[in-house]
Amino acid sequence: MKVALEIRNLKKSFGDLKVIRDISLTAKQGDVISIIGSSGSGKSTLLRCINLLEIPDSGQVYVSGELLKMKEKKEGGLVPEDQNQVDRIRSKLGMVFQDFNLWSHMTILENIVEAPIHVQKIAENEAKENGMRLLSKVGISEKANEYPSRLSGGQQQRAAIARALAMNPDVMLFDEPTSSLDPELVGEVLKVMRALAEEGRTMIVVTHEMGFAREVSSNVIFLDEGNIVEQGEPNKLFTSPQSQRFKAFLSANL
Ligand code: ADP
Ligand code: MG
């Protein structure tokens, strides 16, 4: 299988705080990689460095084989060389946030067709047709013309997933997609994510849902203080944790 996403020796600090210490990971097409770890361990920063919401201090990011070109700044650290490339690479990555981040002044369908029409320059009719197909896929086609505030959290998150899918990304990135949902709404979002995994979508998922991580992932990464402490195939990882850190995390979270 082709490599969809590769990170090599990524490092990121905020001031003196080393948030990502030296992380490498590879996702082949169709892989589902779950990233687990305590709050503050660097999970969001890692995702944000992948889609360049944060610029790493050092290391390389490859999306679908394309290396993001970065150059050294005089004062240290990196800066992207080519904004067109940043835009192109970002459009290959679909991001789903904890708080949905839908545009509140647009209907659900408008949210979904915005980037396809204005970034990808797809014809409006075609974008709407595709948008409706995606809303059916996530089970909320009847909400197409509602504003986000009229939807439950679970419905808003499914709309956000449809919006990310509308760009036909090579890799989907999820940052705790169910963490701000009422417990009874978590299942409907996980069901959609599970279906995407079964279709062969490449996904990187930061999650506290250990059941999802265990049943759906091809690989699980346990992050602690910016380091990958353990990683591997989920059944093995969850049944025989090696480190004290991971044992402690599991006993608090299972
Ligand atoms: P997680 O998602 O695992 O909870 P984060 O990646 O959000 O962890 O944060 C890791 C650490 O980096 C935390 O200590 C957090 O306070 C810090 N941090 C994150 N973003 C910034 C920022 N923009 N400026 C300064 N510190 C940050
Ligand atoms: Mg986070």
pLDDT digits (tens, 9 = 90+) for 11-61: 999 999 999 999 999 999 999 999 999 999 999 999 999 999 999 999 999
N- to C-terminal Cα separation, the chain: 32
Supply the residue whose CA is at minimum distance from atom 20 of ligand 1.
Answer: 45
Quote the pLDDT of residue 80.
94
Whether the pLDDT of residue 110 is over 90: the answer is yes
- Give the tokens for residue 196: 């995407």
Atom of ligand 1 nearest to the CA of 46: 6
Quote the pLDDT of residue 57.
93
Whether the pLDDT of residue 77 is over 90: the answer is no
Whether the pLDDT of residue 214 is over 90: the answer is yes
Sheet holding 227-232, edge to edge: 93-96, 171-175, 202-206, 32-36, 219-224, 227-232
**Cα(95)–Cα(97) distance, integer angstroms:** 6
Q: Which amino acid appears at position 3 of this protein?
A: V
Whether the pLDDT of residue 254 is over 90: the answer is no
Ligand 1 neighbours (beta carbon < 6 A): 14, 17, 19, 37, 39-45
Predicted confidence band of residue 1 (pLDDT cuts 50, 70, 90)? confident
Quote the pLDDT of residue 76.
80
Supply the residue whose CA is at minimum distance from atom 23 of ligand 1.
Answer: 14
% of the chain residues with pLDDT over 90: 96
Whether the pLDDT of residue 155 is over 90: the answer is yes
Q: Which residues surround ligand 2, an ion (CB under 5 A)?
A: 43-44
Whether the pLDDT of residue 245 is over 90: the answer is yes
What is the rounded average pLDDT of the residues 118-136? Answer: 97
Quote the pLDDT of residue 74.
86
Tell whether the torsion through CA atoms of 167, 37, 189 and 185 is positive or negative: negative
CB 127 within 8 A of CB 121: no
Predicted confidence band of residue 88 (pLDDT cuts 50, 70, 90)? very high
% of the chain residues with pLDDT over 70: 100
Residue to mutate (ligand 1; options 10, 11, 17, 223; most atoms within 8 A of CB): 17
The alpha-helical segments, DSSP class H, found in 97-209 are 108-118, 124-137, 153-165, 183-198
